Amino acid sequence: MILAAGFGTRLKPLTDTLPKALIEYRGHPMIAYQIDRLKEAGIKEIIVNVHHHPEKMIEYISNNDFGVDIKLSLEDGEILGTGGGIIHAKDFFSGEDYFAVVNVDIDTNFNIKQLMDYAEEIKPFSAIAVQKRNTRRGLVFDDQMNMTGLQKEDSPAENVYAFNCMHVISGDVFRENLDVRFCGVFDIYLEMIQRGKTIVGYDVGNASFKDLGKMENLN
């Protein structure tokens, strides 16, 4: 799944007329890189959630052959966020043990297949790609790399990691009776931790990472 519904407010005025997913990065719409990323990992069906300028996303997907089956999860009315967007797409999933999720606005040389294989091996509720780099929204893990919460002022630095916007999530998420509402994916993860589920971090080491939601990173 590709999370692509956001307004892209940091990319204004480009996103006044285009969805963030169709903003060009190095000659191609940024969503094209994520489609290739998932395709190269062996994924044959991709769900893309859309909200901002949905007609342009529908046109782009309809007019191009990506070599994989792409379905759009349209969020009518209010936008649902990274968490609500996943839950809203429930009907597109049919009993998968695990599914990969990636934000549309990233550039990284990390191969998400490694994360997929790791999740299949250890069977967590979710495996998330993380690394040691500066971040304002750090995640805290214990010594076994199980997520315990969000970074606070007194969080030990050695336990804090940055999120690299890639997950492999258990299909059990659709059986947890979660409401379709606006929420971030980490709102869901914190609730799942309270329910005894394991959210495990996978350290991608020195893999490159760039946030394409920032105008200065589009060059």
Q: Compute CA distances 66 → 33, 38, 102, whole Å.
A: 11, 11, 17
Which of 211, 14, 35 minimizes the C-alpha distance to 107? 211
Q: Is the pLDDT of residue 10 over 90?
A: yes
pLDDT (0 to 100) of residue 219: 82
**Residue 118 belongs to domain spanning:** 2-217
Task: Give 77-105 pLDDT, tens digit per residue.
Answer: 999 999 999 999 999 998 889 999 999 99
Q: Using N-to-C axis directions, what is the helix angle for 30-40 and 112-122, rounded to 10°? A: 50
pLDDT (0 to 100) of residue 94: 80
pLDDT (0 to 100) of residue 48: 98
pLDDT (0 to 100) of residue 95: 83
- Provide the token pair at 76: 């009518």
pLDDT (0 to 100) of residue 22: 98
Cα 190 to Cα 213: distance, rounded to the nearest angstrom = 24
Write down the mean pLDDT value for the chain.
Answer: 96
**How far is Cα of residue 21 from the mean position of the Cα atoms in its chain?**
13
Task: Give 26-75 pLDDT, tens digit per residue.
Answer: 999 999 999 999 999 999 999 999 999 999 999 999 999 999 999 999 99
Cα 35 to Cα 46: distance, rounded to the nearest angstrom = 8
pLDDT level of residue 185 (50, 70, 90 thresholds) = very high
- For residues 114-141, give the mean pLDDT: 96
Spell out the residues 6+ positions from residue 188 whose beta carbon is closer than 8 angstroms to its own.
Answer: 83, 86, 87, 173, 178
The answer to whether 86 touches 172, Cβ cutoff 8 Å, is: no
The enclosing domain of 82 has a CATH number of 3.90.550.10
Give, as one character, the DSSP assignment of residue 197: -
Q: Compute CA distances 169 → 89, 93, 172, 209, 210, whole Å.
A: 13, 12, 8, 21, 22
Three-state secondary-structure class, residue 61:
helix
Whether the pTM exceeds 0.85: the reply is: yes
pLDDT (0 to 100) of residue 153: 87
Q: Count the neighbouring beta carbons within 10 Å of the beta carbon of residue 119.
A: 24
Question: What is the domain count for the chain?
Answer: 1
